[in-house]
C-alpha cells in the first residue's frame, strides 16, 4: 500500500508471538504501511536490541497482579466455560483440578467454586460472566498506564498476537476496549478452542489457522460475526517453506552430532507433567534401533519440548551416549525461540527419516515434509493409572481425532507394534504418502507457502485503514 493506513498496536505477550510476527517479517510489513506501536514482553537482550533497532515505538508489558475480584471472576468464567463446553479435553482438565484438591481446605475451595460457577454453564450464563469480567477488569484496573499510552498513540486497531498467552496482554486489551478502539487476536493453536479456557474479553476480529477453527469459533462463540473471522494460516510454519532457513544434511548433522550416512529417527516430546514416562519410551525406541544392525543402526534424535520442565531427560542423556539430545535454544524467561532454533526445527523435520511422538503438533509438521509418523498409543508399564494420567486419552481429543482417523499417521499400541512400524517406515517411507498429503490439504489448503505472516499483516492493515471503528459489537 502506498498510503499510510491507521496506526496499529501489536501485543506480543509471549515468545512464540515474537517468533510468529517478528522473525517472520510481519511487523516489518505492517510498519511499511501503517504507524506501528508494539507492546511486548522483554526477551533476552540480543532479541530485544534487534526489535528496538527496527521498531522505535516499543512499550514493555509488565506482570500485573489483578485484584482478587477480577481473578475470582476469571476463574469462575473458565470453570463455567469448561463445564458448558465439556469437550474431551475440558473433561480431562476438570479431572486434573479435582485431583489437585488434596487437603480438606482445597476440596472445600474446589467445591465452592463449582457451586458458584456451574450454574453459569450455559450460553446466557457465560455471557453474564463475560460481561462481569469486562466490567471488573476495567473498573478495578491496577494501573492506568496502558490507557494513557493508547490515548497518546491513538491506534486504529489493537492486535493481540496470542489470545491464549494473554495474562500480561489483558490490561492492554481492556484499555483498548474502554477507549472504543477495535481489537483483534490470533487463535494461537489448533487445540485452543476445545482444550483451553474461555476467550475473554470478546474481540472484534479473530485470526485462525484454517476453516475448521473458524467453524469451531463460530459454534462456541455465536455472537462473533462470521466476516470478522479471518483464515490466514499460522506463521509458526512459515519457516518450513522458506529456503533461506534450510541447511545441508552435513551442516545439520554436524550441529546435532549425527552421522549423515545413517537414518535419523526423531522423537519429539510433550509436556513432562502431562506425558509421564517419556524417557522410558525414548530409551525403548533407542534399543529397537540398535537391533537394526545393517547397514548400520539408525540414530535416535530427541527434541525436548521447550515448554514445561526440562530436566526429565538428564539421566537418559548421561547414560545413553547413542541417543542424540541437543539443547533446545529458547529464552526460558518468556519462552522465546531463538532464530537458530527456528531453523533447527525446520531442518530436523527435513532431515529425519521418520518421526515418533504422542499426539503432538509435530505430527502435522512431519506430514508437511511427507515423513512417516508414528504415534505411541500405549502407556509405560510403570505408569500408575490411579495417580497418573494415561496419555493415550489424548488421541480422543476433538482437535486430534481427525488426525488419527485420516490414516496419515500410524498408531503403535504396543512395543511390538512400535518396532514393526519403525521398520516399515524406514524401509517403505512412501507408504501413507497420499493420506499425509490429503490431511495437510484438508487442514491448510494452499496456506503452506511461507506467507501466513504476510496474510495476517495485510489483513490487519486492511482493517485498520477502514474508516470508523470496525466493531463486531
pLDDT (tens digit, 9 = 90+) per residue, 351-381? 999 999 999 999 999 999 999 999 999 988 8
Q: Are 297 and 375 in a shared domain?
A: yes
Q: Which helix (H) or strand (E) holds 206?
A: strand 205-208
Q: Are 290 and 421 in a shared domain?
A: yes
Q: Are 296 and 435 in a shared domain?
A: yes
115 alpha-carbon distance from chain centroid: 32
pLDDT (tens digit, 9 = 90+) per residue, 454-473? 999 999 999 999 875 455 54
Q: Are 271 and 392 in a shared domain?
A: yes
Q: Are 275 and 331 in a shared domain?
A: yes
Q: Are 423 and 282 in a shared domain?
A: yes
Distance CA 234, CA 210 (A): 9
Query: Cα separations (Å) of 454 from 22, 55, 66, 151?
Result: 11, 18, 35, 28
Mean pLDDT confidence for 427-431: 96
Angle (CA) 298-300-302 rounded to 5° is: 160
What's the structural domain count of the chain?
3
Asked if residue 164 has pLDDT above 90, the reply is no
Which grid coordinates belong to 223? 455472537
Q: Are 249 and 363 in a shared domain?
A: yes
pLDDT at 58: 95
Residue recorded with cell 545441508: 248
Angle (CA) 355-361-366 rounded to 5° is: 35
pLDDT at 1: 37
pLDDT (tens digit, 9 = 90+) per residue, 292-321? 876 679 999 999 998 877 788 999 999 999
Q: Give the model's confidence band at 413: pLDDT under 50 very low, under 70 low, under 90 confident, else very high.
A: very high
- Tell me, yes or no, whether 194 lies in a domain: yes
Q: What percent of the chain has pLDDT over 90?
A: 80
CATH of the domain at 160: 3.40.50.2000
- Tell me, yes or no, whether 118 lies in a domain: yes
Q: Are 316 and 184 in a shared domain?
A: no
The residue among 126, 153, 171 that closes a domain is: 126
Asked if residue 22 has pLDDT above 90, the reply is yes
The β-bridge relationship of strands 330-331 and 336-337 is: antiparallel
- Tell me, yes or no, whether 412 lies in a domain: yes
195 alpha-carbon distance from chain centroid: 11
Global pTM reads 0.93
Range of the domain at 212: 8-64+143-237+451-464
Q: Are 419 and 380 in a shared domain?
A: yes
Asked if residue 40 has pLDDT above 90, the reply is yes
Q: Give the model's confidence band at 20: pLDDT under 50 very low, under 70 low, under 90 confident, else very high.
A: very high
- Tell me, yes or no, whether 471 lies in a domain: no
pLDDT at 274: 78
- Tell me, yes or no, whether 137 lies in a domain: no
pLDDT (tens digit, 9 = 90+) per residue, 60-94? 999 889 999 999 999 999 999 999 999 999 998 89
The dihedral sign for the CA sequence 268, 273, 278, 279 = positive
- Tell me, yes or no, whether 212 lies in a domain: yes
| Stronger pLDDT, 244 or 273, i.e. the higher one | 244
- Tell me, yes or no, whether 472 lies in a domain: no
Q: Give the model's confidence band at 386: pLDDT under 50 very low, under 70 low, under 90 confident, else very high.
A: low
Residue 387 CB contacts under 8 Å (≥ 6 apart), including other chains: none
Asked if residue 389 has pLDDT above 80, the reply is no
Mean pLDDT confidence for 170-193: 95
Asked if residue 438 has pLDDT above 90, the reply is yes
Q: What percent of the chain has pLDDT over 70?
A: 96
Q: Are 228 and 284 in a shared domain?
A: no
The residue among 78, 99, 126 that closes a domain is: 126
pLDDT at 235: 96
Distance CA 369, CA 445 (A): 15
Mean pLDDT confidence for 165-174: 91
Q: Are 30 and 152 in a shared domain?
A: yes
pLDDT at 388: 63
- Tell me, yes or no, whether 469 lies in a domain: no
pLDDT at 167: 85
Q: Are 92 and 198 in a shared domain?
A: no
- DSSP characters over 40-109: E----HHHHHHHHHH-S-EEE-------HHHHHHHHHHHHHHHHHH--HHHHHHHHHHHHH--SHHHHHH
Mean pLDDT confidence for 138-157: 94
Phi, psi for 62 (deg, rounded to 5):
-115, 145
Task: Give yes or no for a contact between 30 and 8, defined as CB atoms under 8 angstroms apart.
Answer: yes
pLDDT at 202: 96
Asked if residue 137 has pLDDT above 50, the reply is yes
Which grid coordinates belong to 318? 548421561
Amino acid at each position: 500500500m502506498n498510503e499510510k493506513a491507521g496506526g496499529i498496536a501489536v501485543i506480543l505477550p509471549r515468545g512464540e508471538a515474537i517468533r510468529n510476527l517478528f522473525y517472520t517479517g510481519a511487523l516489518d510489513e505492517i510498519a511499511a504501511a501503517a504507524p506501528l506501536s508494539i507492546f511486548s514482553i522483554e526477551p533476552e537482550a540480543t532479541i530485544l536490541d534487534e526489535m528496538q533497532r527496527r521498531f522505535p515505538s516499543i512499550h514493555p508489558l509488565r506482570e500485573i497482579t489483578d485484584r482478587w475480584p477480577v481473578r475470582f471472576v476469571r476463574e469462575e468464567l473458565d470453570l463455567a466455560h469448561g463445564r458448558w463446553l465439556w469437550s474431551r479435553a475440558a473433561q480431562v482438565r476438570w479431572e486434573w483440578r479435582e485431583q489437585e484438591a488434596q487437603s480438606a481446605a482445597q476440596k472445600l475451595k474446589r467445591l465452592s467454586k463449582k457451586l458458584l460457577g456451574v450454574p453459569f454453564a450455559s450460553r446466557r450464563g457465560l455471557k453474564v460472566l463475560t460481561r462481569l469480567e469486562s466490567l471488573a477488569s476495567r473498573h478495578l484496573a491496577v494501573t492506568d498506564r496502558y490507557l494513557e499510552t493508547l490515548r497518546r498513540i491513538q491506534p486504529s486497531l489493537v492486535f493481540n498476537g496470542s489470545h491464549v498467552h494473554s495474562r500480561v496482554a489483558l490490561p492492554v486489551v481492556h484499555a483498548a476496549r474502554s477507549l472504543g478502539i477495535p481489537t483483534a487476536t490470533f487463535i494461537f493453536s489448533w487445540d485452543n478452542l476445545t482444550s483451553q479456557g474461555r476467550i475473554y474479553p470478546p474481540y472484534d476480529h479473530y485470526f485462525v489457522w484454517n476453516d475448521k477453527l473458524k467453524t469451531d469459533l463460530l459454534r462456541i462463540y455465536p455472537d462473533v460475526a462470521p466476516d470478522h473471522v479471518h483464515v490466514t494460516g499460522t506463521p509458526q510454519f512459515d519457516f518450513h517453506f522458506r529456503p533461506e532457513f534450510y541447511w545441508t544434511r552435513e551442516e545439520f548433522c554436524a550441529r546435532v552430532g549425527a552421522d549423515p550416512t545413517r537414518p535419523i529417527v526423531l522423537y519429539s516430546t510433550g509436556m513432562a507433567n502431562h506425558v509421564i514416562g517419556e524417557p522410558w519410551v525414548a530409551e525403548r525406541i533407542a534399543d529397537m534401533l540398535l537391533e537394526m544392525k545393517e547397514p548400520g543402526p539408525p540414530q535416535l534424535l530427541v527434541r525436548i519440548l521447550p515448554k514445561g520442565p526440562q530436566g526429565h531427560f538428564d539421566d537418559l542423556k548421561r547414560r545413553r551416549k547413542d541417543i542424540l539430545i541437543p539443547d533446545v535454544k529458547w529464552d526460558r524467561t518468556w519462552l522465546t525461540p531463538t532464530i537458530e532454533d527456528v531453523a533447527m526445527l525446520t531442518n530436523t523435520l527435513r532431515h529425519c527419516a521418520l518421526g515418533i511422538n504422542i499426539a503432538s503438533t509435530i505430527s502435522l509438521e512431519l506430514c508437511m515434509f511427507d515423513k512417516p509418523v508414528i504415534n505411541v498409543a500405549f502407556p509405560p508399564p510403570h505408569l500408575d493409572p490411579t495417580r497418573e494420567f494415561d496419555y493415550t486419552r489424548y488421541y480422543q481429543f476433538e482437535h486430534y481425532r481427525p488426525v488419527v482417523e485420516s490414516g496419515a499417521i500410524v498408531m503403535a499400541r504396543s512395543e511390538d507394534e512400535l518396532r514393526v512400524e519403525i521398520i516399515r517406515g524406514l524401509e517403505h517411507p512412501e507408504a501413507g504418502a497420499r493420506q499425509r498429503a490429503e490431511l495437510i490439504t484438508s487442514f491448510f489448503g494452499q496456506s503452506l507457502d511461507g506467507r501466513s505472516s504476510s496474510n495476517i499483516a495485510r489483513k490487519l492493515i486492511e482493517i485498520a485503514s477502514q474508516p470508523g471503528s470496525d466493531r463486531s459489537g
